Amino acid sequence: MLNSFSLALKSIWSNKMRSFLTMLGIIIGVAAVIILVGLVNGQMSYMKESFSDMGTNLISVNLTNVNSRSVSDEEMYEFYTENIDYFDAMSPNVTVSGTIKSGNESLSSTTITGVSEEYLTLKSMELESGRFIQYSDLASRQKVCVIGYYVATEFYGSAEAALGDTLSINGDRYTIVGTVERQTSDSDEVEEGGSDDFVFIPYTAAVELARNGTINNYTFAMSDVEQTETVKGLLNTFLYSIFKNEDLYSITAMSELLDSLNSMIAMMSMMLGGIGGISLLVAGVGVMNIMLVSVTERTREIGIRNSLGAKRSTIMQQFVIEAAVTSSLGGLMGIALGCGLTGVIGKVIGMTAVPTVGAIAVSFSVSVGIGLLFGYMPASRAAKLNPIDALRSD
């Protein structure tokens, strides 16, 4: 075995250019698998992290209230109170379309949402300054608001300077009672329409401002994610008893969407790995062709070894090992290239991409397997050569 391995290395070294060209397909194939899987995992990890920031313990309820069948906020709060053991917080959500103004400046991309006093807990946000919306604000429909970091700095220069000032929402003036801390990282630019460009107002005031009269969206924070199915069942029973039609409402658990995202990540990784695997298959054909050429060139050598008593299994072993060593060296080079380029390409396109152990192990194993598989036929052909015919070969 060691002697066959030594002979394989000598044969590869004696034909360096041809050996390298043979390995090139393996190198590209292995590197492609590592890079593709690394990039898709990097992108999906970013998506997963962003998705997780929304809160995996949240359940969103969307309603289509009609004249004969509707759910009021009082009824929803009654349900929430009766099942308080399952929840940490709950908030109605009322989206208001419009423009906010301060002096001569205005913003039209700002998200304006009517929420309850528990919304900050739901979204795991922290205040930069001031206070959040309180129950008294909801009860008396106070025109107060809490603004995001972008609005505070764009209109007033800082979070502290914004406190106590006012801004206009669709012509109605609201007093700023609090500012939320920056949501984007320090390295990211705070921009209009981003995650820091928002205004929160009491949902009771938002209903009047939106002039729709009903609340169609509620968000619940569960105390235990493991009870997702139980909570969905309770909500479904409650809502169906009122609407009598499942098409008039929907219940969406963030944890279930995250599970779907994980399945999609796995499927995409396998798909892209398979695309890279095709290049490995093509490289295997190249290995087989070169090994067939090598058998033809070394026919006389094989005849001499046969005449000296070498067994067929020994000759076959030599060529199989030579093919496997060629593929293995190509696989190692491909791993080095793939690991190096994954991080570089990730930085160029603006994401964190790292090679995965699974992609490295699978691609290298496939490259070695291809060497053994496609090296078998040339090796078998060499082992079956007639010693006399082989010695007569030029």
Dihedral over alpha carbons 152, 154, 158, 159 (to 10 degrees): 10
123 and 204 inside one domain: yes
Question: Is 300 within the bounds of a domain?
Answer: yes
| Residue 213 and residue 265 in one domain | no
Domain assignment of residue 78, yes or no: no
Does residue 287 sit within a domain?
yes
Cα dihedral 29, 35, 41, 44 in deg (nearest 10): -110
Domains in the chain: how many in total? 2
* Region 163-185 average pLDDT: 89
Residue 22 domain flag: yes
Digit-coded pLDDT (tens) for 193-244: 788 889 999 999 998 888 776 789 999 998 887 888 899 999 999 999 998 8
Residue ending a domain, choose from 161, 193, 220: 220
Which residue range is the domain that position 29 belongs to?
Answer: 2-51+260-392
C-alpha 69/C-alpha 62 separation (Å) is 14
Domain identity same for 210 and 301: no
349 lies in a domain? yes
pLDDT-derived band at 33, boundaries 50, 70, 90: confident
The DSSP element (H or E) to which 93 belongs, if any, is strand 87-96
Say if residue 285's pLDDT is above 80: no
Reduce the DSSP state of residue 350 to 3 states and report it: coil
Distance CA 346, CA 233 (A): 43
Domain match, 44 and 105 both: no
User: Which string of DSSP letters, residue by residue, matches 359-385?
Assistant: HHHHHHHHHHHHHHHHHHHHHHHHHT-
Q: What number of other Cβ atoms are within 10 A of residue 270's Cβ?
A: 12
Same domain, 275 and 204: no
The answer on 109 and 33 residing in a single domain is no
The answer as to whether 303 is a domain residue is yes
Token pair, residue 183, equals: 């949501």
Would you say how long the chain is, in residues?
394
Pairing of strands 198-202, 217-222: unpaired
Q: Phi and psi (nearest 5°) for 84?
A: -60, -25
Q: Do 270 and 383 have their domain in common?
A: yes
Last residue of a domain, one of 159, 194, 220: 220
Residue 88 belongs to a domain: no
Model confidence at 351, in pLDDT bands (50, 70, 90)? confident
Under the banding of pLDDT at 50, 70 and 90, the label for residue 53 is: low
Q: Measured between alpha carbons, how far is 316 from 333 in angstroms, rounded to an integer? A: 26
Same-domain check for residues 43 and 101: no
Residue 168 maps to a domain: yes
* Distance (Å, whole) CA 21 – CA 27: 10
- Do 273 and 204 fall into the same domain? no
Residues 112 and 34 in one domain: no
Considering the domain architecture, whether residues 356 and 287 belong to the same structural domain is answered as: yes
My answer on whether 18 and 103 are in the same domain is: no
**DSSP 3-state assignment of 100?**
strand
